[in-house]
């Protein structure tokens, strides 16, 4: 199997349902949202969608470059935030180990003959916060020097377990996708299900997500750090569930305590992206704090608690250079809700 071959939940496109309202019905200035739309048309030529949800209702929805309601978006690293929620669900169900217990025994079967002895100190918390100390090189725009070599490896698990642990970096944040992929391996080892199957049973089904894709590695683990594809509305559903403290239509999906832990900053500020929690970023614009899932190219699910809002941006992911949509948040979306 090609390590980036998608496994589809459904091969039939469908329109995800979502309650709607007009912006002005929910104290939002439509002219400022229209201004953000105009800015996208002028300055963001690779944008695919722009959605705003407020107080549980979809109040603004635009698509670009041939994309539409049923189109799947390649979330890239925004996938990581979904895995954080799956880990939280598994912990609440008693299917995952304690955050501070070493993970070595669960993954040692994939290890080389002479693994780095410091691997025995790495915990689930280290992986969630990207503080494992594994040797890696990451640029200021989250570019990862070894990522293509990693993807071409016959065994992603063995590739990760061959990486040396830099003792002086253990416990310090460094953005690395290997930490995130190891979470998928651990979820499978402890639950007996791939992250894809686990999401179907405990997340997607509850949210009414039926049209999606998630890539698998050659050894059968769901790609954890990238690989998920969803419609923009389904991305918004996920964001709204998280904004609502883990509830969806009165059903508890994940604990509110886990989400609060996940959103809490665990790192120092990083090159304009904000601070990192459990596979989520957090930041602020003009005094308004938000938490967000982020993927290469501008895939973002932004939770803004003080404004009771979720904002979704999607764009072409097959690019080397792209513009962060946070400027649209600062200049259009947030002012529209503060009127």
Pairing state between β 5-8 and 212-216: antiparallel
* Position 215 in a domain: no
DSSP 38-90: HHHHHH-TTEEEEEEEETTEEEEEEE-TT--TT--EE-GGGHHHHHHHHHHHH
Using alpha carbons only, give the angle 225, 247, 56 rounded to the nearest 5 degrees. Answer: 95
Report the distance separating Cα 254 and Cα 221, nearest Å. Answer: 22
Chain centroid to Cα 107, Å, comes to: 23
* Position 14 in a domain: yes
Chain centroid to Cα 64, Å, comes to: 22
Structure tokens belonging to residue 182:
């190891």
* Position 90 in a domain: no
Q: Which residues of the chain register pLDDT less than 50?
A: 1-4
Report the distance separating Cα 81 and Cα 138, nearest Å. Answer: 19
Task: Identify the H or E element spanning 184.
Answer: helix 177-191
Residue 259 structural domain: 9-73+232-337
pLDDT tens digits, one per residue of 106-139: 999 999 888 899 999 999 999 999 999 999 999 9
Structure tokens belonging to residue 41:
């048309």
User: What CATH number is attached to the domain comprising 325?
Assistant: 3.40.710.10
The number of domains in the chain is 1
* Position 166 in a domain: no
pLDDT tens digits, one per residue of 160-213: 999 999 999 999 999 999 999 999 999 999 999 988 899 999 999 999 999 998
* Position 222 in a domain: no
DSSP 211-237: SEEEEE-TTSPBPSSS-EEE-HHHHHH
Q: How many helices (H) and strands (E) in the chain? A: 13, 13
pLDDT of residue 107: 94
* Position 328 in a domain: yes
| Contacts of 281 by beta carbon, 8 Å cutoff, 6+ apart | 273, 274, 275, 291, 292, 293, 294
* Position 104 in a domain: no
* Position 116 in a domain: no
pLDDT of residue 115: 86
Report the distance separating Cα 183 and Cα 126, nearest Å. Answer: 10
pLDDT of residue 271: 87
pLDDT of residue 218: 61
pLDDT of residue 141: 84
How many other C-beta atoms lie within 10 A of the C-beta of residue 172? 14
pLDDT of residue 1: 38
Cβ burial of 15 (10 Å; 0-12, 13-18, 19+) is exposed
pLDDT of residue 208: 94
């Amino acid at each position: 199997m090609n390590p980036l071959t998608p496994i589809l939940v459904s091969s039939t496109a469908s329109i995800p349902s979502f309650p709607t309202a007009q912006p002005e019905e929910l104290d939002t200035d439509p002219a400022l949202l229209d201004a953000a739309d105009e800015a996208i048309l002028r300055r963001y030529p690779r944008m695919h969608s722009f959605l705003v949800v407020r107080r549980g209702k979809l109040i603004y929805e635009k698509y670009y470059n041939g994309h539409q309601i049923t189109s799947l978006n390649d979330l890239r690293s925004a996938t990581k935030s979904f895995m954080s929620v799956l880990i939280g669900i598994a912990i609440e169900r008693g299917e995952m180990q304690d955050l501070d217990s070493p993970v070595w025994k669960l993954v040692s079967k994939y290890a080389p003959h002479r693994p780095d002895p410091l691997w025995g100190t790495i915990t689930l918390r280290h992986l969630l916060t990207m503080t494992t100390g594994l040797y890696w090189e990451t640029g200021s725009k989250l570019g990862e020097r070894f990522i293509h070599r990693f993807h071409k490896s016959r065994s992603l698990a063995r590739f990760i377990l061959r990486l040396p642990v830099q003792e002086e970096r253990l416990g310090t944040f460094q953005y690395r996708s290997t930490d995130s992929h190891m979470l998928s391996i651990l979820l499978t080892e402890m639950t007996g299900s791939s992250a894809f199957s686990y999401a179907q049973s405990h997340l997607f089904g509850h949210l009414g997500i039926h049209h999606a894709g998630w890539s698998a590695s050659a050894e059968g683990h769901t790609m954890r750090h990238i690989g998920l594809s969803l419609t923009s509305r389904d991305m918004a559903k996920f964001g709204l569930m998280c904004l609502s403290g883990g509830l969806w239509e009165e059903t508890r999906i994940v604990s509110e305590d886990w989400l609060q832990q996940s959103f809490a900053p665990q790192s120092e500020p990083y090159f304009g992206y904000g601070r990192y929690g459990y596979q989520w970023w957090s930041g602020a614009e003009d005094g308004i704090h938000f938490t967000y899932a982020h993927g290469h190219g501008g895939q973002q699910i932004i939770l803004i608690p003080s404004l009771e809002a979720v904002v979704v941006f999607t764009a072409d992911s097959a690019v080397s250079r792209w513009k962060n949509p946070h400027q649209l948040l600062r200049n259009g979306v947030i002012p529209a809700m503060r009127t």
